[in-house]
Structure 1
């Protein structure tokens, strides 16, 4: 059965059943949401999960199938009939546009594109792409996937400094990723399509009702890396009331940590790990509930048990203290105007929060870093501050004691609980990052791109376009 944009809802169901495994729940959702042939082409990752494609593999299979359908819908490409490659001499073509010389000059001189330069560069490249597509008979602002891939490849071939050298990536996916339908190129095309008159648009997306199904996290994982921490099969009998591990958990809760019982506390945390992980997954526990049942997360060994839990949940995750420190000086070179700070580790984190743009949010620029760090002077009553913090201050966050120029001590604030995390800015941040994962907390929306940087370097997750662009730039700084 060949795909057609004119498929009815029932024909879409029949087509998908021929190509992939479609459960009765997915079939029901397709019928409910009235997914016809045109709407199918416009589905994104979030839409697929709403329809019931809940596993990474199922989503990836549908992404590939949708890309194949888009290529079929665009008809046979006449690109092969033209002798000259569509983006031959891309460098020269960019120089012909206003701003092109300045952008390429900065790239050659500094090895990366600033955010405003990246925007100009992308705008020029997409204008070239649309022109080439129209020459080949495609509708304006609707170039085929193959042509978008050609442009993305041409960009990193002609400008090697823009190529992403992250293991497991194509190197050009931040410009266009055909499987995810994302990247700088696709984002710009979507903006252009929004500005088109309705009658000129190729796909008219139907309005849908909201579904109660939603992913429990604010990130996307790569296909090959099991980083969710929730797919390992656990024994539900662990949660029975007479489970022998409960006595050890009771001892753990009632025992004050000290240097003499440190080894025993760590051992029992490891022994009770499967129970705790299953309990957090299956029981409706708030962060406060978790910390009250397992108070040693808050008061033992400067947050060391948070490290232990994270490493047990995600054994394949790379070591933060091995991966990030070599990047610090490179990151600092990306912004010479950041706040004065003697702690290069903290300063590099502030730079990252400044140069990685927030997602779809409004408000003053430059505030993102203060959702990560709150600075207070020496003598601050940390417990009182955690209890009375401004309601607008999202959490978890790090309370930093001392001036910005010379921080002295760090505290992780978790739901009005205070966790002393020592005087190392990097270890304190690592424990902040780990707390989101082990307690199942979603990132503050403004900082999703910022945290995606660490997902990419630690877990090997797909970087967002702005993160991939930064990672590519760091190779040449």
Structure 2
């Protein structure tokens, strides 16, 4: 049975015709009709935010000073191929950003129909992994949610850092960490009620789904190629320790993306990667990411869960003292 909802979404696109797109991709037109609606619907059901992940209407695309690009498939493929052939450099960087923005709708269409996993997305758009500390991953997220107003620093660090520290001390879960951002993130992960009540896996494996610490002399490439089975979704690797964190890498499938020494930049890329690469949250720490969906960034199409409402209320009632 054809996926009628998918075909309807495709028919709404004004940027290029479906048959032209499939022909240039070398895909037989029966590919679309062979997609089972149950597969697509299941993916939708398991995705935190539904509509914006797939196709963003052209009229919601951020305005630029450039003339509107003609969304013909030959133009899209020219820019896509240019992006594959040109690595970051002072000469290319401005053009890379421009072409990544102009191919956004085309790329989301591909991700919805053809590029069904992170590896295939990266193979077709390799600048995601080598451009300016992974910044294109976050840029893609901001194009998906162009109306995003909430900020990480103002909404999370300013509002919740001290409350999380006080709550962790009250629950005897505090630990030493001189980096406020890293500490706040790890405290949220270890104190969130929906995660704490899970007794099926160890604290270590819960934490590893967010971040893994490695010594400087350890082979990162070998670790990623042979990583444990529970590390299927994106996660961070920090070269260093909680006390002395060093370089951060975002791991997506078999790729490591250098994010610099700033944990804020690393986490921003990690969070955005689930949307950019159309990946599910790790089930055991899903409430951690949903806290950012619902409370911090207040993403569209998200209702605040009872668990998060109760947790926020509990944090707001904690007496905090300035550091």
Give the alignment partner of residue 54 of structure 2, picking from 212, 230, 234: 230
Contact 1:373 1:398 in 2 (8 A): yes
Query: 2:307 maps to what in 1?
Result: 466
* Alpha-carbon distance, 1:464 to partner: 2.3
For 2:47 and 2:309, the matched residues in 1 are separated by 15
Query: 1 or 2 for the larger relative contact order (CA 8 Å, sep ≥6)?
Result: 2
* Alpha-carbon distance, 1:344 to partner: 1.5
- Could you say if the C-alpha distance between residues 459 and 216 of structure 1 is closer, same or farther in structure 2, counting changes exceeding 3 Å? same
Give the alignment partner of residue 280 of structure 2, picking from 439, 442, 445: 442
Contact 1:354 1:366 in 2 (8 A): no
* Alpha-carbon distance, 1:423 to partner: 1.1
Partner of 2:53: helix, strand, or coil? coil
Query: 2:259 maps to what in 1?
Result: 421
For 2:48 and 2:120, the matched residues in 1 are separated by 27
- Could you say if the C-alpha distance between residues 434 and 261 of structure 1 is closer, same or farther in structure 2, counting changes exceeding 3 Å? same
- Could you say if the C-alpha distance between residues 332 and 239 of structure 1 is closer, same or farther in structure 2, counting changes exceeding 3 Å? farther
Query: 2:179 maps to what in 1?
Result: 343
- Could you say if the C-alpha distance between residues 255 and 322 of structure 1 is closer, same or farther in structure 2, counting changes exceeding 3 Å? farther
Contact 2:163 2:315 in 1 (8 A): yes
Please give the root-mean-square deviation of Cα atoms over the aligned residues, in Å: 2.6
> Which runs of structure 2 are paired with 1:30-429 in the superposition (5 Å)?
213-216=41-44, 218-219=46-47, 228-230=52-54, 232-233=56-57, 240=73, 243-317=74-148, 318-326=150-158, 327-336=160-169, 337-356=173-192, 357-358=194-195, 362-365=200-203, 367-429=205-267
The C-alpha deviation readout for 1:141-194, integer Å capped at 9, x for no partner, is xxxxxxxxxxxxxxxxxxxxxxxxxxxxxxxxxxxxxxxxxxxxxxxxxxxxxx
Paired residues, what number?
261
- Could you say if the C-alpha distance between residues 254 and 217 of structure 1 is closer, same or farther in structure 2, counting changes exceeding 3 Å? farther
- Could you say if the C-alpha distance between residues 303 and 217 of structure 1 is closer, same or farther in structure 2, counting changes exceeding 3 Å? farther
Q: TM-score, normalised by structure 1?
A: 0.51
- Could you say if the C-alpha distance between residues 339 and 217 of structure 1 is closer, same or farther in structure 2, counting changes exceeding 3 Å? farther
* Alpha-carbon distance, 1:234 to partner: 6.1
* Alpha-carbon distance, 1:283 to partner: 1.4
For 1:379 and 1:365, the matched residues in 2 are separated by 25
Contact 2:236 2:250 in 1 (8 A): yes
The C-alpha deviation readout for 1:371-421, integer Å capped at 9, x for no partner, is 100000113332222112222323200001001211011000011101001
Q: TM-score, normalised by structure 2?
A: 0.73
Query: 1:182 maps to what in 2?
Result: none
For 1:228 and 1:402, the matched residues in 2 are separated by 36
Query: Structure 1 runs of 4+ off > 4 angstroms?
Result: 237-240
Contact 1:400 1:410 in 2 (8 A): yes
For 1:303 and 1:445, the matched residues in 2 are separated by 25
Q: Unaligned regions of 5+ residues in structure 2, if any? A: 1-37, 60-69, 319-323
* Alpha-carbon distance, 1:247 to partner: 1.4
Contact 1:401 1:407 in 2 (8 A): yes
Contact 1:227 1:314 in 2 (8 A): no
* Alpha-carbon distance, 1:342 to partner: 1.4
Query: 1:204 maps to what in 2?
Result: none
Contact 2:239 2:246 in 1 (8 A): yes
* Alpha-carbon distance, 1:360 to partner: 6.6
- Could you say if the C-alpha distance between residues 273 and 314 of structure 1 is closer, same or farther in structure 2, counting changes exceeding 3 Å? same
For 2:51 and 2:289, the matched residues in 1 are separated by 15
- Could you say if the C-alpha distance between residues 366 and 445 of structure 1 is closer, same or farther in structure 2, counting changes exceeding 3 Å? same
- Could you say if the C-alpha distance between residues 274 and 430 of structure 1 is closer, same or farther in structure 2, counting changes exceeding 3 Å? same
Contact 1:239 1:275 in 2 (8 A): no
